[in-house]
Structure 1
């Protein structure tokens, strides 16, 4: 049995967030230390009950086990899961059926299944980024490789946001998880600007492929009360429904975006006019 490490994050309202200093913002919205050898690290959030986690099997396989806040016997008893591999080659075993995941491949696992995570090479272990939300029905397991994801090439070097967007969940059925990845081209550093919010869904970003000592300045908060958190490689940040979520790096980078809430419409967002940002 794999005993996961876990912590909980309670929902924060916009007035409370506006009064927070740097340390308080980081304690409430920033998630570090996701990937540790032979550990499952989970953050249970009270934003649409999203669980954000990381698992890096090295010497042993890792079983995904329930944590106390779930109140269930198994992890996926009443949940669905998406795992994205950002490391070396690995496998996700779903109720005894093995699925190979290369770098940037994703797998969806529906309610009621058991999950085991395995690396193929301990010298180059897989790093499974885990996202889970409550489910109301069981959808079938679906593997989505990075080459099979819907790709959108947007932006330009002139606006410092030339990027490729990979929509992982565009072609599969989920209860509420919407997940994809954005990769910025060399010379581009901005993401999600102009900004938007979506009151129907929370969102979480995982920044990765960010070489030391580069950082991303991630912007959050109500459009009229913005704040920032400085992000290093392989760190995640929570975005409540009332908050913008945007970033500017000191180099190019990639990030995985994930949402949960009332709908699975990727385009359902409320644009924020640039002149209203403060």
Structure 2
């Protein structure tokens, strides 16, 4: 498990590109036959990816870093499959996940196992896990089950649909809020006009991008912005004080996950475009 520490916005102003990427960009999450995890001290969120090939893969705890007997002893987790069909087995119960299906697993589940329906076309499971104080039931949701929110316009290059999976009015959780945003063809901007929410941090996973496609992810304080070049199936850690927006070379999809003080999706501090620098 890779460890990332929290950063102060004043310090981040001095970072060059290499340091920004080291602190906030998560590369190499999806390796065939492996489970890859990144533990961030920003609200103690764990982000990960797993591609089961010939053998199933167990979601195992890093006992030294987590101080727990098993991964979900004091945690909850959201899982979204971004690849071909696969199965997540939770304490002996199988949940079959098609592409873009979501599974929430609550605190206390002892054994979580990932496997692919076809090892030659393996599933790709994306994981977001946060500390939990209460057990909520394990729930599966297809994209068609998620609450959609249509935003933007083609004239502003930001026509998109936000699908909410884990939130106050959907799958219940302790603090994890998670969903997916799909941009329509011909649209490249996400989360613009931008915002911050000092009560919650956020992670973004960008995918459904061509090999030569990139997203220029904008981050930093509204008056001190920076950018990171993000490629397919790479993820970003966004601290609560940072904007989180971007523009791609073509349309794409991204998964967002939040952790922090509340679960109010609409709790945002909007940034006026004239104030961006």
**TM-score bracket for this pair, using the shorter chain length:** over 0.9
2:43 equivalent in structure 1:
48
| SS at structure 2 position matched to 1:221 | strand
Deviation at 1:152, TM superposition (A): 1.3
2:155 equivalent in structure 1:
158
User: 1:84-128 deviations in whole A, cap 9, x for unaligned?
Assistant: 000010011010000000000000000110210110011211100
CA distance in 1, matches of 2:223, 2:67: 38
Deviation at 1:169, TM superposition (A): 1.3
2:116 equivalent in structure 1:
119
1:128 equivalent in structure 2:
125
Deviation at 1:172, TM superposition (A): 1.4
Q: How does 1:208-227 map to 2 (within 5 A)?
A: 208-227=207-226
2:190 equivalent in structure 1:
191
CA root-mean-square deviation: 0.6
1:174 equivalent in structure 2:
173
CA distance in 2, matches of 1:215, 1:172: 32
User: 1:10-48 deviations in whole A, cap 9, x for unaligned?
Assistant: 000101111100000000000000111110000000010
2:134 equivalent in structure 1:
137
Which moves more between the two structures, 148-157 or 54-63? Answer: 148-157
| SS at structure 2 position matched to 1:16 | helix
Matched pairs, number: 273
CA distance in 2, matches of 1:180, 1:234: 16
CA distance in 2, matches of 1:220, 1:135: 28
CA distance in 1, matches of 2:240, 2:101: 27
1:88 equivalent in structure 2:
84
2:73 equivalent in structure 1:
77
| SS at structure 2 position matched to 1:147 | helix
Deviation at 1:147, TM superposition (A): 1.0
Aligned pair partner of 1:13 in 1, 8, 30: 8
User: 1:62-81 deviations in whole A, cap 9, x for unaligned?
Assistant: 00010121111100000000
| SS at structure 1 position matched to 2:166 | helix
CA distance in 2, matches of 1:192, 1:89: 30
CA distance in 2, matches of 1:186, 1:256: 17
1:37 maps onto 2:37 in alignment: no
User: 1:229-248 deviations in whole A, cap 9, x for unaligned?
Assistant: 00000000000000000000
| SS at structure 2 position matched to 1:158 | helix
1:100 maps onto 2:93 in alignment: no
TM-score by length of 1: 0.97
User: 1:188-212 deviations in whole A, cap 9, x for unaligned?
Assistant: 0000000000011000000000102
List structure 1 runs of 4+ shifted beyond 3 angstroms: none
CA distance in 1, matches of 2:65, 2:136: 23
Consecutive unaligned residues in structure 2, runs of 5 or more: none
Q: How does 1:224-239 map to 2 (within 5 A)?
A: 224-239=223-238
